Amino acid sequence: MTYALGIDFGTAFTAAAVLQNGIAETVNLGNQRAAIPSVVLIREDSTVLTGEAAQRRAITEPTRVVREFKRRLGDPTPILIGGSPYSAEALTSRLVTAVLTEVRQRYGGNPSHIAVSYPANWGPYKTDLLKQALQMAGITGATLITEPQAAAISYAEAERLEPGETIAVYDLGGGTFDTAVLRKTEDGFEILGQPIGIERLGGMDLDAAVLGHVMSSLGDSLADLDEDDPATLAGFARLRQECTAAREALSSDTEVDIPVVLPGAVSEVRLTRSELESMIRPPLADTVNALHQALDSAGVTPDDLRAVLLVGGASRTPLVAQLVGSELGRPVAVDADPKHAIALGAAHTAAAATSTKPATVSEAVTPATATEVPAVAPQPSKPAAAPVTLAPANPATPTPRPSPHPASQADSGTWISQNRSLVGLGAFVLLGLVVAGFLATRGGDDTTDTETAVAVPTAASVPVAPSAPGDSTDTDAATTTGVRLPVRATVDAGSVFAVDKTNPVIGTDLVATLDPPEYASIRQVEGRVIGFIDVVNTSNIQYYDFASFQTTNPERDRNEVWAELAPEAWRNISPTVPDSFEALGLEGRDPVAGISFDAADIYCQYALKRLPTELEWELAARDGSIDVTTVQNWVAFPEEYSDTPAGVAVLRGSFGIEALSVFYRTFGDSPTNRQNAGLRCAADDVVEVPRPTGELLYAREFSGADELHDWPDLHDPNTPDVAYGYHAPDVFHVEVRGSLAVAVGSGQVQADNTTLSADVELRLPDEPNGGFRYGLVANAGPTGYLGLLVQDASVEADGRELRWCVVQRSNPLITATVVGGQSLLENGPCELEGVVSTDATRNTLTVTLTGGNATFSVAGQAVGSVPAQYQADASFGFIAENLDPSILSHVHFDNLTLVSS
Amino acid sequence: MTDLGASAESLLATANEVFAGTRHDSHVQQLQDRFHEPLRVAIAGKVKAGKSTLLNALVGSAVAATDATECTRVVTWYQDGHVYRFDIESKAGRKTPGIFRDVDGQVSVDLGDHDPDDVSRIIVTWPSQALRQTTLIDSPGIGSLSSEVSERTLDFLTSAEDNTPADAVIYLMRHLHSQDVQLLQAFHDVDAAQPSPINAIAVLSRADEVGAGRPDAMESAAKVAGRLAKDPSIRRLAQTVIPVAGLLAETAATLTQSEFNDLSRLAELPVANLQRLLLSADSFSGTPIEVEVSSDTRAELFGRFGVFGLHVATEALRERRALTTASLAEELLQISGLTNLRTLLDTLFVGRARVLKSRSALQGLVSLVGDSEGIDVKDLAAQLERVLASDHSIAELRVLSEIRTGRIVAKQTVLDEMEQLIGAQGDGFSDRLGLARGASNEQLRSTAIESAERWRRLVENPLSSPSLVAAGSTIVRSCEGMVLAVESSS
């Protein structure tokens, strides 16, 4: 299949587009964005990295990286890397080669023709040099077209322009600004007057303004930053990315919070769009002036313009269109894809030129022939020649993992219900043989924005398969070489890897070191989710609730339990007064700190989860899913890692001041409380609870203390005997000390044809308690309500029995959202009752109102029905009542749902 | 490293041949002439901003009329020469000698029967040390006089004809005003490619008025200037803003012995008495005093020095900081901010005159090449492009001005090294690299490579400020240039 290729070689970014079968599309050159940074890095062994790979490595090899070399084109003074001279043309040719390699691989074979864009103010000298650079990349006879012309051609594909009509192109790119006026001719566009450029004005400058805002907001806390500290550098590099992301986000959002994680400064800085706009207004005013100048030199007034075409990534900023539009009083056309308009236009140009003027791409790209650049050695191997033959992916091979347990919801290690406070951990199961490669995943889940580049572990750390490189049909090797990889790892050139289960390369020295620009193995990499991890650290309130609950174990001394579990600082606070940690100046939402490995382990079991493995933690940390600098996290016993002393537990991450972030790793005795040590839990799977069909009238899935206000309100200042709140891991907790608590949710539903359900859970599984019962309230209104109640009637620990009971109560029991203090016993008998068996502590209760009946089910079993008079504007909710007013009832609710059937 | 001036000169010669006999013939000639003339520095600002006063202070004579006479309505050039003379140049380019008029010691020029609207400029030739290296251009005030006059100045500053008629500009402002910004922008539009101005500084003129003439007026003015310099709209247009008490500067530059004597007598008065006197012009000249300075003299002194000037001058005499006319003049020039302005002009403009003039010439050529339909300029265009692409001195000049005006956020040691590497402490390679004179080529080469790496590391450091990153890239290029030069010479 033939295709035509357009390349937009920019100061900051390089993009490509192809036209195939009459359809133009941009080429995804990078993993994260379609355009790759115009960056080249030449390593000591003369290996050349380009684009994202070069960008990534820049922080560790800063002296070997070159960026913005487009500005240097034409300067006879060469660029020095490690003392060796490189011309800007040579570097350009390396970048173009990388683009071409990528495109060839995706589209198969060479393009029929290539067009490359260049700045409109370049003269014969620089365009000649550009041609030389292309020749060095093996391209001869390419069509060169100016950037504004390419943008205009792309625009003309969507909008019909008549010959003679003029447009202005306003190109605000990553590093430069250019503007020009063009007139449509019979077969293209001609530039009128002088194109005007501003050399150092682009997205980067706007980002710098955002960074300035953050820095000035943080003020003195940044005074002592150590310029040589790797953690500081990494934190700052990340902050710069956050600033770019924030600036881009403000194109659609009106405000954004920029996370700052630096040693000594962990915080968030808010930036509103209007603040951003006031910062960038002066430079943008310059661009509008330049546009005026270009118009003047073209002898064109704004009124003569059909439109002003905005291209370049930074022109998405809403203020740009606003300023340009209001200054010129002309319609502003923002290209649908402003970042790639030039590449797309170049692709169209290439396609148009295909028939008349074929460009040739030589088979062997030989950059070594670039005589000006003696130091660039030819690369050791090229994709065609390299033994990068991979065994076909075998779906049966991936590392086995525990199967999900949807039926057995309480199994440890299985997370119940979809919960947004968890994040999926991406890992990659790689099959086959790889030669020296940094692999990047493509395809798969395009919606995730995480770092998806993977590589294979060092040869030293992996058993070598018996197969030789190139022995691609050795399926035996393939079937034993499933490997889970962290986001980045290293591999030695030429090595064959074969590892099963988990990758043992974990720890402080794990830094990617190899990125040949070829991406041959891409399609053999299969991304999959290997588990889930809490996004946020376990909070004080969660941990308090847990530790407090553990002290109620009748078999152990309350104080002893508290002493074991509570952080040092908590020793003197009461385990029975909720939120008493607040007296210590601690916030409920903040991460708990100062606990032991053993306590963390128990907590996760209690939360029906488990501690994350170190691999899981590292995966999440590296792709930025979790904050790793607030408190350190205990991770599961490090069975897989040989470098850990026996009986010693591992702590990962850092805490504020030291902030060594992802790479920090330390040890601790498992029973000992450790200052700054906190935790987060993980789980193998997420089980989605199927939703009832029908229109969802009300759905509350409790997932954090923040959501209390969304739930039916039990709070009544006059009934201090009722307490409610958040309970770890994520349920709505209700306690009744008096006799009865009823909460009803928001009302105004027609009760007919509705199904109400909720998960309810009794948290004292080992203590059969006939003293209280709990359940759902439905059809609540002026004439009373229906209640489906259950009561633990188990006599043995395994195999539980729930005694259930349906009550119909009349007014005035529910007069408000809260009723307390009424004695159940005075309110008549059950309408229906019986017993169901279940093996779970957590069960779903359902009340369906339809056809003049109320039908009830417990744990999926229908238990009976009663005739019911439906009320209009009915409310619904839940109930807990004590049969013995001297006891404390304690029950949890979740997933309160009302569906109209 | 190749000399930009030499490249510009040879390009001008080539252009002379290419454009010979074409419509651009005279333009090239102008560019060539100009290249060999002193640097042109324009003084611009709104009406009453104190342009003529400052000009007098800089020249050291009362050459410019300070009232709204013809001179302040027409562009006036002040150039060095052997004799006093002035010429009136009409729009058609015809020069007619004019006549000086001396009214009360104030020199003014008489346009005679010339219609100011037909006068393109007045050229004043005045023997003066200060004009030897710079030609000063006084432009009509922008603002209230008449829109025509304003337009004339805008035309002058942004004239496409000669591209940039001035190589550098001193912009006078009394406080930040949108018209100031507009005017500065107009000047800079000709060089939109470089948002950081290397050839403009702003002066907060009449700085003594900021503090209502109090003795600490200049300190208040310095604060105001500091704030203005940080204003983003000014920052993009002028390198820095410095306060100058124009009247005091002018007076100090032309201080006479009799003024010194009178002031010395006034300084003998008790401080409290003097302060009471200085409450108003009338009280200063009218109140009877114990020392022998006549009422008329006092009125003159008041006009020459102003309240602030009298305060600081008598204070300097009373504290015996100045014992002679010359030392008082120096002290007052210092206080007025003129010394500071002169130093800045020397380092930023005069010291780099060759680069600035080359830049003007190259810009002029770029615009000629851009408007060359029917003339074969391909070779010239390519040569011009190569010279512009190879040149690094303009970039270094830009970095220097950024350092000197505090625009680069970096540690002082970093800034110091930066200045050294771009040749501000001596242009030889050993000076730039901090090596002993006569260092071997191998030493120069390896030190330059090390410096390039160190600066590349700094540029890549995420902690480096954006201003440092941009300047640092220039430094890396400076080092690379030295490596190349050393290698090709050995």
pLDDT in tens, B209-245: 766 666 777 887 888 888 777 776 676 677 788 899 8
Residue with tokens 């169901």: A836
- The ipTM of this complex is 0.72
Question: Hey, of B365, B447, B463, B484, which one would you mutate to test binding to chain A, going by the most A CBs within 10 A of its CB?
Answer: B463
Residue of A nearest to B373 (CA): A193
Dihedral of CA atoms B391, B392, B397, B400 in degrees, nearest 10, equals 180
Nearest to B470 among A58, A125, A200 (CB): A200
Nearest to B484 among A65, A78, A240 (CB): A78
- Cα gap A273→A254, rounded to integer Å: 5
Chain A CB contacts of B456 below 8 Å: 62-63, 65
pLDDT score recorded for residue B202: 86
Tell me if A123 and B382 make a contact (CB, 8 A cut-off): yes
Tell me if B477 and A59 make a contact (CB, 8 A cut-off): no
DSSP one-letter code for B349: I
Chain A CB contacts of B452 below 8 Å: 80
**How does residue B109 score in pLDDT terms, banded at 50, 70 and 90?**
low
A648 has which bridge partners?
Answer: A669
Among A575-589, A857-871, B160-174, top mean pLDDT goes to A857-871
Instruction: Check whether B389 has a pLDDT greater than 80.
Output: yes
Q: State whether residue B244 is helix, strand or coil.
A: coil
A698 has which bridge partners?
Answer: A898
Instruction: Check whether A422 has a pLDDT greater than 70.
Output: no
Arithmetic mean of pLDDT, A268-297: 88
More confident residue, A477 or A787: A787
More confident residue, B448 or A159: B448
Tell me if A125 and B385 make a contact (CB, 8 A cut-off): yes
pLDDT score recorded for residue B391: 86
Instruction: Check whether A428 has a pLDDT greater than 80.
Output: no
Asked if B161 reaches chain A (Cβ–Cβ under 8 Å), the answer is no
More confident residue, A378 or A122: A122
Q: State whether residue A42 is helix, strand or coil.
A: strand
Q: Lowest-pLDDT range, A409-413, A853-857, B269-273? A: A409-413
pLDDT score recorded for residue A164: 93
pLDDT score recorded for residue A72: 92
Instruction: Check whether A476 has a pLDDT greater than 50.
Output: no
Share of chain A above pLDDT 90, in %: 15
Instruction: Give 3-state DSSP helix, strand, coil % of chain B, rounded to 5.
Output: 55, 10, 30
**How does residue A128 score in pLDDT terms, banded at 50, 70 and 90?**
confident
**How does residue A342 score in pLDDT terms, banded at 50, 70 and 90?**
very high
Residue with tokens 């068996």: A837
**How does residue A158 score in pLDDT terms, banded at 50, 70 and 90?**
confident
Cis peptide upstream of residue A812 (ω within 30 degrees of 0): yes
Q: How many CB pairs under 8 A join A and B?
A: 113
pLDDT score recorded for residue A143: 92
Among A160-164, A195-199, B39-43, top mean pLDDT goes to A160-164
Instruction: Check whether A674 has a pLDDT greater than 80.
Output: yes
**How does residue B181 score in pLDDT terms, banded at 50, 70 and 90?**
low
Tell me if A59 and B460 make a contact (CB, 8 A cut-off): yes
More confident residue, A552 or A249: A249
pLDDT score recorded for residue A622: 65
**How does residue A716 score in pLDDT terms, banded at 50, 70 and 90?**
low
Rama region for A134: left / alpha / beta (φ>0; ψ in -120 to 50; rest): alpha
Instruction: Check whether A10 has a pLDDT greater than 90.
Output: yes
Distance from the A304 Cα atom to the nearest Cα atom in chain B, whole angstroms: 22
pLDDT in tens, A830-856: 777 888 877 677 788 999 888 888 888
Nearest to B463 among A125, A227, A297 (CB): A227
pLDDT in tens, B442-460: 999 999 999 999 999 999 8
Strand ranges (DSSP E) for B115-264? 119-125, 134-138, 168-173, 200-204, 241-243
Residue of A nearest to B447 (CA): A83
More confident residue, A129 or A219: A129
Chain A CB contacts of B236 below 8 Å: 282-283, 286
pLDDT score recorded for residue A37: 93
Chain A CB contacts of B233 below 8 Å: 282, 285
pLDDT score recorded for residue A698: 73
pLDDT score recorded for residue A27: 92
Residue of B nearest to A128 (CA): B382
Burial B72-111 (b: 16+ CB within 10 A, else e): bbbbbbbbbeeeeebbbbeeeeeeeebeeeeeeeebbbeb
More confident residue, B180 or B23: B23
pLDDT in tens, B478-489: 999 999 888 877
Token pair belonging to B178:
């949108």
pLDDT score recorded for residue A358: 54
Tell me if B192 and A293 make a contact (CB, 8 A cut-off): yes
pLDDT score recorded for residue B49: 72
Residue with tokens 């130091």: A375
Taking Cα atoms as reference points, which of A827, A843, A804, A857 lies closest to residue A742?
A827
Nearest to A62 among B233, B456, B466 (CB): B456
Instruction: Check whether B86 has a pLDDT greater than 60.
Output: yes
Residue of B nearest to A278 (CA): B232
For residue A742, what is the enclosing H or E element? Answer: strand A740-744
